[in-house]
Structure 1
Amino acid sequence: MKRLIAVLLTCGLAAFEAHAGCTAAATAGPAGFGTVSSSLVYSTAQSTSITNAGLTCTPAGIELFNSAYFKATITSTQSGLVGPTGDVITYTIYPGSNNAHPITRGVAFDFTSFGLLGHNAPAAIPLYFTTVVNNVAAGVYSETLKVQWDWYYCTGLGVGNLCIGSDSGVGKISLLTVNMTVANDCTITAANIGFGSAPVVSAFTPVSQTVSLACTKGSAYTVGFGDGLYPLAAGGRRRMISGSNYLAYDIFKSAGTTRWGSVGAARRASSTAEINPGNGLGHNPGSGSQIFNYNARIYTDQSTPPVGAYTDSVLLDVAF
C-alpha cells in the first residue's frame, strides 16, 4: 500500500511600499539678480537661480519609470523684467546650471528629460536664469511668472517592479517673482593733459580736449573736476609740483574762462554737453557718447618756477 503524504508549500510575497507625495506652493521665490550696474547689464550676461521653483516632493527612493513625468509650463503677461520706464530686460530660463536645454515659455518642460532628476522623485526642482545683454534705464525691474505643475510617478513597488501606488497633480500653479535692481553707472573716457615744455610760463599754449561719457540710459547727472593734489588755498588755483616748487594751472569749461570744478555750480550738467546734450544715452556704442569740451591753461601771472617736470593728479567724478 502506498502512503501519500501531502506537502503544503507556502510562499509569502512581500510587497515593498514607500509613500511619497508632491505639493505645489502658491508662491515661490523670489529669484533675485541683486543690484547690478547698468554697464554690466549691457556688457555681461547676469545669472541667478532658485533652489525650489514651487514643487516640493517627499522622496522615498522610488524609481522613476518611463511613464513618470514632472512638467512645468511657464507663462507671463510680460516678455521679461520690466522697469520703471518700460524698458525690458530679457532673460532665458534653464533647468540646470550649465545653461543647457532652455525652457520655452508656454511649452510644458519635462524635468525627467535629459537625466535632470536622476532616478528618484525630487525633493525640489530648481530653475536658473541668465539675462541677455540690455541697454536699459536705472530702477527696479521685475516679472511674475506663472508656473503650472503637472506630475505623475510611482510611489510603491511590488513584485516584478510593478507599481502599486502613484502620486499625481494636474494644473497646480506656483507664482514666482524674478527681479533685478539696475544702478546708474558711466563709462568715462578722458585723456591725460600734457602742456609740453617751455622756457617761461607765458610760452605755454592752452590745451583743448574732451571728456567722453556713456552713462545710464535716461540718467541726469553732473560732471566735476577735482582741485588736484596741491590746490592753492587762496584763489583756488590748481597746481602741479616738482620737488618743492609749484606751477599753477587750471581747467576751464568748454572754450571759455569759467573754471570747471567739483562743487555746486562749478560742475557741468549732462544737459550742457557740447555733443548729445541731455540725459544719458546708455552704454550701446550705437547710441553715441556725450562729449564735454574743456581747455587747460598755465597761469601767466605767476613767476616762472625752476626747471623741472611738474605733475598733478585730478579726479574726474560723475554724480547722479
Structure 2
Amino acid sequence: MRPLLALAALGAGAPAFAAVCSYAETGASLGSASSFAVRDGSLTTPGSFSITCGSGLLSLLSTDSLLRATLTSDNGFLLRNISDSTKAIGYQAGNGSGLIYSSGLLVINATGANILTLLPNRKATVPLQIATLNANVPAGTYRDTLRLAWTYNLCDGAGLLATCLGTVYAGTATRTVTVELQVNNDCLITPGAINFGSAALPTGFGEAASQVAMVCTTGMVYTVGLGPGSNPSGGRRQMANGSNRLAYDIFFGAGTTPWGTTVGSRVSSSQATSGPAGGIANGTGSHVFPYRARVYPDQAAPVEGTYLDNVVVDVQF
C-alpha cells in the first residue's frame, strides 16, 4: 500500500493549470485586377492561419495531447460575385509547396510527441497560397470564405500515468480568412491607322479607311470616343509638320459628323458593324467600328513634308 500512497501523493501535489491558445490570420486578398488578367492567367496571393500556445520552449507532452486543423471553403473554392452568385471564379488554395487543399481536409493531425515538431516556439502555422483559375467573368467583387477549425489538447509538463503537471492548453475554435478579388472592366483596343498617301494639294488626297477593333470585359456596354488629336484648331483635327498644319477629320461609318468625345459624337457599342450581339461585350470577340478620314479641301496647299497626328481612343461604360 505504501507505493500506491506515494503515487497518489505525487499526482495530487502538482496540479495542472488551464489556458487557451491564441490565433492569427494573414493575407488572402487578391486586390483588384483587369478582367483580362483573370481570363488569361493565374492571380496569386499568400496567407496563413496560425495558433500560438503560451511562450517559451514546449517540453514534455502527455500521450493524449493532440493538435488538429480542418480546412473548409464556404463556396467549394469558388469566388462568387457578391451581386450575382451565378458568376464565379475557381481558385486553388495550397501550402505553396505543391499540396493543394480540398474542402474538409485535415491539414494538421498530430498527437503526442509528434506535436513538438509542429510547434517550434509554441506556434503552428497553416500556410496558404491562393491561385485563381482562368475565368471569363464580368466586373464585380468576387468572394469566398476559408474556415479553419482548430482542436487542441496540449500539456507542456507531463507526469506519470499521463498526468499533466504543467499548463494544459485545451479548446476548439473556428477561424476565417476572406478571399476576395475585385475584377475591373477593361478593353483591348486595336485602333487601326490612317495613311493618306501623298499629294501636292489638299484636294488631291483621297479618303482613307480603317477600323477600331475592341475586345471588352464580358457584359460591358460602352461608347467609344476619338480625341481631337495633338494639334486641334477651329474644331478640326490637324496633322503637323513642324509649325505647318494640314487639317483633316475622322468619321464613323458613313457619318458626316466628326467622330469625337462629346455626347452625340461618340459611338455606342451597339453600333459596331460586327462582333458580339447587341453591342454587349463577351470578353473574347471583337466589336468592329469602321471609320473614314479625309483631308479638308478648303485650305491652302501644304508645305512639302510628312504630316503626323496622334488620336486617343477612349472608352466609357
Name the TM-score, length of structure 2 as normaliser.
0.78
**Does 1:105 pair with 2:106?**
no
Deviation at 1:79, TM superposition (A): 4.3
> Conserved in 2, the CA contact under 8 Å of 1:64 and 1:153?
no
Within 1, Cα distance between the matches of 2:158 and 2:269?
Answer: 71
Q: Which residue of 2 is the match for residue 293 of structure 1? A: 290
Deviation, 1:319, is 1.6
Output the CA distance in 2 between the equivalents of 1:226 and 1:36: 26
Q: CA deviation at 1:133?
A: 2.1
Indicate the residue corresponding to 2:11 in structure 1: none
Match of 2:156 in 1: 155
Distance in 2, Cα, partners of 1:239 & 1:64:
84
Contact 1:212–1:290 (CA under 8 A) maintained in structure 2: yes
Percent identity over the alignment?
Answer: 36
What's 2:58 paired with?
Answer: 62
Contact 1:56–1:125 at 8 Å: present in 2 too? Answer: no
Report what 1:246 is aligned to. 245
**Preserved CA contact (<8 Å) 1:229 1:313:** yes
Q: Secondary structure at the match of 1:146?
A: strand
Distance 1:94 1:263, change over 3 A: same
Alpha-carbon spacing, 1:158–1:319, altered in 2? closer, same or farther (3 Å): same
Alignment check: 8 A CA contact 1:253 1:295 kept: yes
Q: Are the structure 2 counterparts of residues 289 and 18 from structure 1 closer, same or farther at C-alpha, using a change threshold of 3 Å?
A: farther
Give the partner amino acid of 1:127. Answer: L
Contact 1:19 1:156 in 2 (8 A): no
CA RMSD after TM alignment: 3.3
Flag structure 2 segments of 5+ consecutive residues without an equivalent: 1-13
Contact preservation (8 Å) 1:89, 1:131: yes
Q: CA deviation at 1:137?
A: 0.6
Contact 1:153/1:167 (<8 A) preserved: yes
CA distance in 2, matches of 1:205, 1:76: 63
Q: Deviations over 1:188-240 (max 9, x none)?
A: 1123322221232222222221111111111121111100111122xx11110
Post-superposition offset of 1:77: 4.0
Which amino acid letter does the alignment assign opposite residue 257 of structure 2? T
Please tell me whether the aligned partners of residues 18 and 156 of structure 1 are also in contact (alpha carbons under 8 angstroms).
no
Of residues 79, 82, 86 in structure 1, which corresponds to 2:80?
82
Q: How does 1:122-201 map to 2 (within 5 A)?
A: 122=123, 124-156=125-157, 167-169=169-171, 172-201=173-202
In 1: Cα distance, 2:204 partner to 2:269 partner: 34
Contact residue 80 and residue 142 of structure 2 kept, 8 A: yes
Which aligned pairs between 1:214-229 and structure 2 lie closer than 5 A? 214-229=215-230
Shift of 1:18: 10
CA gap of 1:292–1:64, structure 2 versus 1, over 3 A, is farther
- Any conservation in 1 of the 2:94–2:127 contact (CA below 8 Å)? no
Given the superposition, is the C-alpha separation of residues 63 and 79 from structure 1 closer, same or farther in structure 2, using an over 3 Å criterion? same
Q: Cα–Cα, structure 1 residues 265 and 59, in superposed 2: closer, same or farther, change >3 Å? A: farther
Q: Which residue of 1 aligns with 2:270?
A: 271
Between the aligned partners of 2:296 and 2:89, the Cα distance in structure 1 is 50
The structure carrying a bigger helix percent of its residues is 2
